[in-house]
């Protein structure tokens, strides 16, 4: 699991005036991530420490090379990345860099499948135009694991909201039910397939 940006600095209009507060909050987020990862059975977590909500200040090639190093080290057969149309512009940059890092070049390792996922409070808040729409075409039944997912989410106290906030346990359950009901499942996670290769 890769964390591309810190996830905190963008909350301050002038991060330079809040350096210690940001450092403290990043430390808490990393502890939260470790607990959530343990609940989910994540094998490893890597923090790339790019500037939060300021990825537009980072050359896209630098971001892609950083992700490519991780792809070559981990050698995943499947990669999940943000949806390109998300309201959060960092997500769009990560999506673009992921495509570059996972491009299929002969003689190089590259993942067989790429998926985009939705992020509550970001994907659904994008402008309602076709070019930004999340159009899922892969659905995974998660009834048996939904409460584990929610327990992992609960580890991020600073990221949780009270319903009807989209990052609340109730909203996560509602989305799972909605996604599932569209394809005859009780509860599901939805993804947009970006690429699938067969040899």
Instruction: Render pLDDT for 113-153 as a digit per residue (tens, 0 to 9).
Output: 999 999 999 999 999 999 999 999 999 999 999 999 999 99
Question: How many independent structural domains does the chain possess?
Answer: 1
pLDDT band at 32 (very low <50, low <70, confident <90, very high): very high
**CATH number of the domain enclosing 94:** 3.40.50.10320
pLDDT band at 6 (very low <50, low <70, confident <90, very high): confident
Per-residue model confidence as pLDDT tens digits over 166-179: 999 999 999 999 99
Rounded mean pLDDT, 69-86: 98
The pLDDT of residue 43 is above 70? yes
- Structure confidence at residue 182 (pLDDT): 97
- Structure confidence at residue 18 (pLDDT): 66
- Structure confidence at residue 159 (pLDDT): 86
CA atoms within 13 A on the CB side of 139: 19
Domain carrying residue 70: 2-196
- Structure confidence at residue 24 (pLDDT): 87
The pLDDT of residue 17 is above 70? no
The pLDDT of residue 11 is above 80? no
As a whole number, the mean pLDDT across the chain is 94
């Amino acid at each position: 699991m890769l964390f591309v940006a810190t996830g905190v600095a963008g909350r301050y209009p002038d991060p330079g005036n809040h350096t210690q507060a940001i450092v403290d909050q990043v430390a808490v987020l990393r502890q939260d991530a470790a607990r959530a990862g343990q609940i989910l059975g994540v094998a490893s977590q890597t923090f790339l420490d790019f500037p939060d909500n300021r990825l537009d200040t980072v050359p896209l090639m630098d971001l892609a090379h950083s992700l490519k190093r991780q792809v070559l080290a981990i050698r995943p057969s499947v990669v999940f990345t943000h949806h390109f149309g998300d309201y959060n512009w960092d997500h769009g940059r990560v999506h673009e860099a992921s495509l570059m890092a996972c491009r299929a070049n002969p003689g190089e390792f590259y993942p067989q499948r790429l998926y985009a996922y939705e992020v509550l409070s970001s994907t659904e808040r994008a402008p309602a135009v076709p070019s930004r729409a999340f159009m899922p075409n892969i659905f995974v039944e998660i009834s048996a694991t939904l409460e584990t997912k929610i327990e992992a989410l609960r580890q991020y106290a600073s990221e949780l909201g009270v319903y009807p906030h989209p990052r609340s346990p109730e909203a996560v359950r509602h989305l799972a039910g909605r996604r599932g009901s569209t394809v005859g499942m009780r509860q599901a996670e939805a993804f947009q397939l970006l690429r699938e290769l067969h040899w």
